[in-house]
Structure 1
């Protein structure tokens, strides 16, 4: 790009504030693509938080169940090997 074009159009990505960019990006997607009015943002954040914690809880329960299954299998194998 020429110097004049670089002065007119912002093109230095090192100086871009990525937090502001993504905040504006997601708000624009909500408003113009999903057709959600900005007034529903607080409800959407509440729903997001509930779903986030539900997801974390589900992962924890599944992880503990898998660990318990492995522990049972390993304990059985140790008892089987030591008893033989």
Structure 2
């Protein structure tokens, strides 16, 4: 059997080429430093998934009451 070189991917933080293999414990990052920088970006809100803002409890309660009223379930 012939050995093939592991897949190389860019580090999400610094874009350095990184071998995607079990030997790289930080994959897909090149180092612990880059991994922590990325984690910090998620923690401070720099990285986020786009979408609608979450409703607060008051909005949810109002929506449930409105749905119950519309369905005739209110006492």
Question: What is the TM-score with the length of structure 2 in the denominator?
Answer: 0.31
In terms of fraction of residues, the more helix-rich structure is 1
Which of the pair has the greater relative contact order for Cα pairs under 8 Å at 6+ separation? 2
Q: Which has the larger radius of gyration?
A: 1
TM-score after normalising by structure 1: 0.29
Q: Higher strand share goes to which structure? A: 2
